[in-house]
Amino acid sequence: MNKITKTIVLVLTTALAFCMVTGYAAEASSTVPKSLRHEWYQPLKNVKDPMFIKLKSHAMDSGSKAFHHKISGKDLQVIKKSKGWYQIGYTGNNNPTYKVTKRKISGKKRTVLLKKNSSHSHYADVFLIGKKTKMSLGESSVYLG
């Protein structure tokens, strides 16, 4: 190979590698979408310490009063998935996916956060904004099909 051919191959290889690296960086973010930013609770009847998910613009806190974990800054990863789902959690992990939708809870249509522990799961946990409305155990989980 002559010198010009080697230079062209080197430049194209470098450009391709750069495009691949920047393409992956654009997919992940650390900013939580506005529609998900609330204090979500799973206030089951007869449960004094409900599970919660608190989502802020660049932070997440989830669990219960007894045990919870906080993620923020560069440790937080947000990836948009198909059909309105977002994968949110620690950077580099296989994290739960979340989606905001409407569901009938206690006889009234309410905005809820669905949480799937795996992207392949057919079940999702249901979370409400605030603690006032109590859910039955049957309303706290939904089969997605």
Phi and psi based region of residue 89 (left: phi greater than 0; alpha: psi -120 to 50; beta: remaining): left
Longest dimension (CA), the chain: 79
pLDDT at 17: 59
pLDDT at 78: 95
| Spatial distance between the Cα atoms of 96 and 92, rounded to a whole number of angstroms | 12
| Beta carbons within 8 Å of 54's beta carbon, 6+ residues apart | 38, 39, 40, 60, 61, 62
pLDDT digit string (tens) for 29-81? Answer: 889 999 999 999 999 998 999 999 999 999 999 999 999 999 999 999 999 99
In the chain, where the domains are located: 1-28, 31-143
Q: Is the pLDDT of residue 22 over 90?
A: no
pTM comes to 0.78
- Tell me the residue type at 127: F
Mean pLDDT of 7-25: 54
| Spatial distance between the Cα atoms of 68 and 96, rounded to a whole number of angstroms | 15
pLDDT at 9: 58
Identify which has the larger pLDDT, 8 or 124: 124
pLDDT digit string (tens) for 79-137? Answer: 999 999 999 999 988 899 999 999 999 899 999 999 999 888 999 999 999 988 899 99
pLDDT at 14: 64
Structure tokens at 57: 């613009």
pLDDT at 80: 95
Cα–Cα distances in angstroms (integers) from residue 106 to residues 49, 50, 70, 134, in the given order: 20, 17, 30, 8
Torsion, CA 12, CA 18, CA 24, CA 25, rounded to 10: -160
Q: Is the pLDDT of residue 24 over 50?
A: no
